[in-house]
Amino acid sequence: DAGVIQSPRHEVTEMGQEVTLRCKPISGHDYLFWYRQTMMRGLELLIYFNNNVPIDDSGMPEDRFSAKMPNASFSTLKIQPSEPRDSAVYFCASSPGYSNQPQHFGDGTRLSIL
């Protein structure tokens, strides 16, 4: 099993640019989660999907952030326009459809907005 795959691993871009983060979940997992990790705020859940449908986006910080899951094997998190305060490590995780099963995390995308 390849695990959750995120790309890119690192992204450095200038303020105002559009940023797109990508995630491929583990095959067969029904749930996909996007998290953001910073020193100040720790690990925050941004949004999660069930069977490609967004279930809870209450953690999305503002309208500049959007997430999509066009099919069971791919999701994107987009920031447009980006700001320096968006700098963080963004994680994608997936899990099967049972609440007693753990979430499996990708290695994250380290995003720096200059």
Partner 1 sequence: AQSVTQLDSQVPVFEEAPVELRCNYSSSVSVYLFWYVQYPNQGLQLLLKYLSGSTLVKGINGFEAEFNKSQTSFHLRKPSVHISDTAEYFCAVRTPAQGAQKLVFGQGTRLTINP
**Site residues (vs partner 1, CB under 8 A):** 4, 31, 33, 42-43, 45, 48, 50, 55-56, 91, 93, 95, 99-100, 102-108, 110
What is the secondary structure of 31-90 as a DSSP string? EEEEEEEETTTEEEEEEEEETTEEEE-TT--STTEEEEEEETTEEEEEESS--GGG-EEE
Q: How far is the CB of 11 from partner 1 (least distance, A)?
A: 14
Joined tokens for residue 62: 């503002």
Q: How far is the CB of 21 from partner 1 (least distance, A)?
A: 13
In this complex, which beta carbon is closest to partner 1, that of residue 45 or of residue 78?
45
Q: How far is the CB of 55 from partner 1 (least distance, A)?
A: 8
Joined tokens for residue 103: 């979430």
